[in-house]
Each structure stands twice: as structure tokens, then as C-alpha cells.
């Protein structure tokens, strides 16, 4: 899936200041052991900045048979459907961490199946990169095509948590496996995307539930 940057044009001045504080890239290289940056944004006493392991979302096993990942011969089969943790429904720092883990689990599911229905419910219409990623998945499965690989692995999440704010920013280190693309006749669809190790900013808001309102690679 293409890795693109988003402009974050809607963020107000405080959020932009936090974004600058978060913009220290995670160190480490692909295949190594990445570590979190040591700089922390300036906050009030009400805030909490942390670096933690992202909670893993559970998955409901498919009822029609054993899971089989995609390969050069065909699509993935019986892909387990991610289940949202109860914690991810809470408007709290821990709830946001759980939601981020669930969001990436749903993205992995979409990459393996081409089904973006659940992923589409987790972001607002204004999240341009979210929409682009959904279109990219749909296109990769159009006319019988499919993807192999591209699994997303989360190392950690850092956030500046201010309970009284509407928008919350988190920085997530995302390692994505190489992606191969195949046509319906099992020929190569287009050149493979190499594996990547990127730091992303995710901007979220909570109304009745968490929604991603913007995201992008930290440049």
C-alpha cells in the first residue's frame, strides 16, 4: 500500500505545537531494533506522554476453515476478523491506545481480504489519507487481483494526552512487510513494494466512539 503524507491542515495552534514535539523520528533501521525518540513535547500537568506497547486486538476465528495467508497462487482464505476490545470504546488514554491497536488490526484485515467495510467506519470522511488507503486496497482487489504480504507490525505508541482537549495526537512506529501484487491469472500485477519502517502521526477524536481524523508519515 502506498505510504503518503497528510497535510494536517485542520489542526489548531496547540496541536501543531505538539506535532512539532512529536516530529523526532524513531531511530533504528529496517531489520534492526528501533527505539523511541527521547524528546518529549512540553505539556501542562494535566498531560501524560508515554511510550508503550500497542495492545493487540483479538480476532474471531473464521468458521469456514483454517486460515491460509495469501501467496503467489491465490488469495488469503478464512482470515480471522478483528474484534474491537471493550477498552477501545473508552474515552481514555488507555482506550485510545487500544483503539490504535484495533485500527491497525483492521487495516491488516483489509490488506488481506480487500474488505474495507469495517475500516471505513473507524475514520471521518475528512481523513484524506484514510480514504486514499481504502481506495488503494479496493484497487488491489479489483477484477480478481490480490495482495501478498504487507502485514503491519506496531512497535510502540507515544502520545501527548490532555483530557480536556478534543483532538489527541499519537506517534506510532509501523513496520510493514514487503507487498507483492498479483493479477487474476496469477501473473505479477506490478513491482513489489519494499518493506518499510516509518513513524506515523495519528490524530483522533472521541464522540460516541474513537475516529481517526488525520494521519501521515512524519517527515
Q: How far apart are alpha carbons 157 and 59 in whole angstroms? A: 21
pLDDT at position 48: 42
Q: How far from the centroid of its chain's Cα atoms is residue 69's Cα? A: 20
Q: How far apart are alpha carbons 156 and 129 in whole angstroms? A: 21
The structure's pTM equals 0.75
pLDDT at position 183: 97
pLDDT < 70: residue spans in the chain: 1-64
Tell me how many degrees the CA angle 201-113-133 measures, rounded to the nearest 5.
30
Q: How far apart are alpha carbons 45 and 93 in whole angstroms? A: 15
Q: What domains are defined for the chain?
A: 13-29+40-217 (3.10.450.50)
pLDDT digits (tens, 9 = 90+) for 14-42: 333 333 333 332 323 333 333 333 333 33
Amino acid at each position: 500500500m502506498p505510504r503518503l503524507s497528510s497535510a494536517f491542515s485542520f489542526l489548531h495552534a496547540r496541536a501543531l505545537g505538539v506535532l512539532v514535539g512529536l516530529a523526532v523520528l524513531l531511530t533504528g533501521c529496517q531489520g534492526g531494533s528501533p527505539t523511541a525518540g527521547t524528546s518529549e513535547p512540553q505539556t501542562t500537568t494535566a498531560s501524560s506522554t508515554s511510550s508503550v506497547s500497542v495492545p493487540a486486538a483479538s480476532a474471531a476465528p473464521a468458521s469456514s476453515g483454517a486460515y491460509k495467508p495469501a501467496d503467489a497462487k491465490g488469495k488469503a482464505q478464512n482470515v480471522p476478523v478483528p474484534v474491537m476490545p471493550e477498552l477501545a470504546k473508552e474515552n481514555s488514554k488507555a482506550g485510545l491506545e487500544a483503539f490504535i491497536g484495533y485500527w491497525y488490526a483492521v487495516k491488516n484485515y483489509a490488506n488481506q481480504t480487500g474488505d474495507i467495510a469495517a475500516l471505513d467506519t473507524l475514520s471521518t470522511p475528512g481523513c484524506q489519507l484514510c480514504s486514499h488507503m481504502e481506495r488503494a486496497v479496493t484497487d488491489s482487489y479489483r477484477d480478481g487481483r490480490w495482495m501478498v504480504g504487507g502485514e503491519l507490525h506496531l512497535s510502540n505508541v507515544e502520545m501527548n494526552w490532555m483530557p480536556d482537549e478534543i483532538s489527541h495526537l499519537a506517534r506510532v512506529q509501523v513496520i510493514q512487510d514487503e507487498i507483492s501484487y498479483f493479477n487474476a491469472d496469477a501473473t505479477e500485477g506490478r513491482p513489489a513494494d519494499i518493506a518499510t519502517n516509518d513513524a506515523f502521526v495519528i490524530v483522533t477524536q472521541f464522540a460516541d466512539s474513537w475516529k481517526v481524523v488525520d494521519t501521515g508519515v512524519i517527515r
